[in-house]
């Protein structure tokens, strides 16, 4: 349920309601809305819906939540959330673009790509230091050394950094070197990992599982928010279907659906979903038109020699053209996208 406080409710009144909820066996989560505070109360379903809360000082109304995901729901927060990554806002009027290689291979590779994607218009550098692979014989990433390279690329370019964490034991060190912690598709329901990441209070990019329903995806986000970390971005990266012509099937319908059911920003990854760079641009256009708040794009300056996922990586020049191509669509849906230099004119590949 949610307890909606009056716009004039004082701090002591809000704390009084929170203390009362604790006495009743609920975990209160304070949410600062526009002009008022809302308190989300999460507890065991066996707890009888409380009565009498409406008479407490400062309370306007008490509303039950019917969705299984509570804190993620639009019923708790009607306005869309904006995740703040330093001075970068995800979920606002500007579409945020995250770009970079699938994996950190070496420092020269990473910094070269970081400079090029920033010049083209990216605001966040993506790159995997820990790589979960289907085969144990595939490149698994540079691990901690890769994290240090991401940190150096951040210092060199000023880009924010997003990278994936694989298990709870590595959360602390990944959080130390990154601005956004990514939960990969294979770990979407790794609940101990979700809780540990939630406790960092850092922004989280939560990818949808390979065969996860929309409800399962939102329930996974609920684990993070239950730790009082509301800095969560959902990432649609394609789901497994009967279709084999693409790596996965990008569920465009999940973008408006997730934004209708949840207040969290939604990012789309067109590269992992399709498995080919050729579909990255049209899928990005579709994502922006559907209401996506950001894009996660794989970029490599030499895809033919990439240690992983070369076929789905754009060259910096193609990435630059993609941003130019989605700009008019962003304007059509009253959004904006930052478009930097044309790399074909500045010596980019």
pLDDT tens over the chain, length 349 residues: 889 889 999 999 999 999 999 988 888 989 887 788 989 888 765 555 666 788 899 999 888 887 888 899 998 888 999 999 999 999 999 999 999 999 999 999 999 999 999 999 999 999 998 866 566 656 556 888 999 999 999 999 999 999 999 999 999 999 999 999 999 999 999 999 999 999 999 999 999 999 999 999 999 999 999 999 999 999 999 999 999 999 999 999 999 999 999 999 999 999 999 999 999 999 999 999 999 999 999 999 999 998 888 999 999 999 999 999 999 999 999 999 999 887 764 444 4
101 assigned to some structural domain: yes
Question: Whose CA is closest to 64, among 46, 32, 40?
Answer: 40
74 assigned to some structural domain: no
Same domain, 10 and 56: yes
Give the dihedral sign, CA 94/286/273/260.
positive
Q: Which residues contact 79 (CB under 8 A, 6 or more apart)?
A: 33, 34, 263
Same domain, 153 and 56: no
Same domain, 105 and 154: yes
Same domain, 192 and 138: yes
218 assigned to some structural domain: yes
68 assigned to some structural domain: no
Question: Whose CA is closest to 158, among 122, 183, 197?
Answer: 122
109 assigned to some structural domain: yes
Q: Identify the CATH number of the domain in which residue 16 sits.
A: 3.30.70.1140
Same domain, 251 and 297: yes
Domain count, the chain: 2
Same domain, 33 and 126: no
- Enclosing domain of residue 192: 83-346
> In what side-by-side order are the strands of the sheet with 2-5?
27-32, 37-42, 2-5, 59-63
Q: Identify the CATH number of the domain in which residue 282 sits.
A: 3.20.20.70
pLDDT, tens digit, for every residue of 82-117? Answer: 999 999 999 999 999 999 999 999 999 999 999 999
Same domain, 56 and 94: no
What global pTM score does this model have?
A: 0.89
Same domain, 301 and 193: yes
Same domain, 182 and 54: no
């Amino acid at each position: 349920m949610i307890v909606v406080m009056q716009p004039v409710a004082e701090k002591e009144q809000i704390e009084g309601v929170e203390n009362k909820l604790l006495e009743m066996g609920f975990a209160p989560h304070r949410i600062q809305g526009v002009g008022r505070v809302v308190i989300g109360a999460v507890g065991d379903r066996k707890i009888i819906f409380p009565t009498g809360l409406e008479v407490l000082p400062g309370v306007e109304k008490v509303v039950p939540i019917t969705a299984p995901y509570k804190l993620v729901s639009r019923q708790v927060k009607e306005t869309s959330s904006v995740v703040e990554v330093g001075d970068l806002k995800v979920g606002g009027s500007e579409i945020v673009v995250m770009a970079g290689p699938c994996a950190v291979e070496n420092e020269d590779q990473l910094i070269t790509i970081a400079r090029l994607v920033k010049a083209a218009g990216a605001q966040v550098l993506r790159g995997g230091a820990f790589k979960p692979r289907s085969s144990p014989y595939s490149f698994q990433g540079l691990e901690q050394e890769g994290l240090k390279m991401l940190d150096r690329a951040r210092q060199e370019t000023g880009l924010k950094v997003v990278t994936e964490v694989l298990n709870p034991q590595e959360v602390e060190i990944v959080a130390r070197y990154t601005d956004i912690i990514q939960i990969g598709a294979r770990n979407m329901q790794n609940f101990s990992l979700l809780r540990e990441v939630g406790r960092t209070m850092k922004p989280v990019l939560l990818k949808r599982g390979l065969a996860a329903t929309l409800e399962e995806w939102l329930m996974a986000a609920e684990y993070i928010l239950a730790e009082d970390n509301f800095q969560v971005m959902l990432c649609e990266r394609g789901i497994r279907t009967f279709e084999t012509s693409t790596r996965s099937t990008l569920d465009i319908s999940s973008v408006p659906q997730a934004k209708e059911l949840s207040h969290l920003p939604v990012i789309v990854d067109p590269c992992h979903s399709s498995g080919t760079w050729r579909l990255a641009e049209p899928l990005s256009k579709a994502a922006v038109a559907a209401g996506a708040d950001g894009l996660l794009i794989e970029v490599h300056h030499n895809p033919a020699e990439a240690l992983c996922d070369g076929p789905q990586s754009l060259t910096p020049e193609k990435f630059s053209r993609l941003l130019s191509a989605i700009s008019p669509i962003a304007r059509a849906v009253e959004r904006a996208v930052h478009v930097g230099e044309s790399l074909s004119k500045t010596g980019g590949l």
